[in-house]
Amino acid sequence: MLRAQSPNVLTTASKQSAALFSEEMLTRKKFPEDLARSNADEEEPILKPSPKRFVLFPIKYNEAEASFWTTEEVDLSNDQKDWNNKLTEDERYFISHVLAFFSSSDGIVNENLVERFSNDVQIPEARCFYGFQIMIENIHSEMYSLLIDTYIKEPAQREYLFDAIETISCIRKKAEWAFCWISSGKSFAERLIAFAAIEGIFFSGSFASIFWLKKRGLMPGLTFSNELISRDEGLHCDFACLLFSLLKNRPSNATATRIITEAVAIEKEFITEALPVGLIGMNATLMCQYIEFVADRLLVSLGMPKSYYAENPFDFMDLISLQGKTNFFEKRVSDYQRAGVMNKDPAEKGFTLEADF
């Protein structure tokens, strides 16, 4: 049974947006006056304007398009029972604060895409992907607003969570790091690494904690939406790594590793100290190891050597990363794709001037 959107969501979501870009935060994220590109950026083919930038063959965009979903497809009707009857007070506290971080983070990612990356990158395929990413991040933000609106019935507590960047210090710290990179005069390559870290590392501990609930058979709507969103963020991170591979001037391994390890330190503090996973029965040491494992995987995807050499301590995350398979009781799996979008014969994906339209 799918539910209609609560009218409260529109009100709280709009207030959330206002809080997200409050006067203080907007002042922090304003760009430096000398936003002239660095010499390295001037030499990058993907950043150079071209008369050919208005035609495209967007393969990665098609992958994102094939995985499109909407909030109406997530059934939250059974979650309220688990929230009220099966979760402890500590578990409710943990989940609500994770959702508070998520509900703000997608707006920050979109701010970077709109203000910086979509203007920086000139190749049409990348702009096409970014346009779709902006839309899907909006769906993520709507989903998190609906989750908070469904679980949290006290209006004052809801407002507190929607205003998380201003009201919750550990979330504000992550947001400030991201805003610094939005307004940074650093090279495109360094900023690309930073936002790959935001989507690949800053979300990793929270995603794993929600999948932990799935392992316990709790909160089916929350965990299903988490599968959909984590898959989307994985694709966004993969795209960042693909763009990075096309750059001529890349930062040194030391610079890239420094950016990644900064993100790791912030995420470890967030998920083990400020919002300890012990609240839901997870092991904090293993969670730190998992974050290091995710960071190593990102470094390798960027063509860099590992920094931590950590192994994945969570077997359930290995299972999540496999191709999802439905069972008799599931309506579908989260790696579903829109019918026909990616089922074309490889030969049909070739460029031709003889096609019938």
Say how far apart CA 319 and CA 323 lie, in whole Å.
8
For 27, the token pair is 């002042």
Say how far apart CA 183 and CA 25 lie, in whole Å.
11
Choosing from 130, 144, 151, 290, which is the catalytic residue? 144
Say how far apart CA 39 and CA 90 lie, in whole Å.
51
Neighbours of 19 (CB within 10 A): 18
Question: Which residues lie closer than 8 Å to 61 by C-beta, 6 or more apart?
Answer: 125, 128, 129, 132
- 240: nearest Cα among 171, 284, 194, 297: 194
For residue 182, report the phi and psi dihedrals to the nearest 5 degrees: -65, -45
- 160: nearest Cα among 8, 28, 16, 5: 16
For 319, the token pair is 């299972």
Say how far apart CA 105 and CA 179 lie, in whole Å.
11
Cβ–Cβ < 8 Å for 240, 112: no
Q: What angle do CA 327, 211, 64 make, to 5 degrees?
A: 75
Say how far apart CA 166 and CA 173 lie, in whole Å.
10
Residue 284 exposed, middle or buried by CB count within 10 Å (0-12, 13-18, 19+): middle
Say whether 144 is catalytic: yes
Which residues have a catalytic role annotated? 144
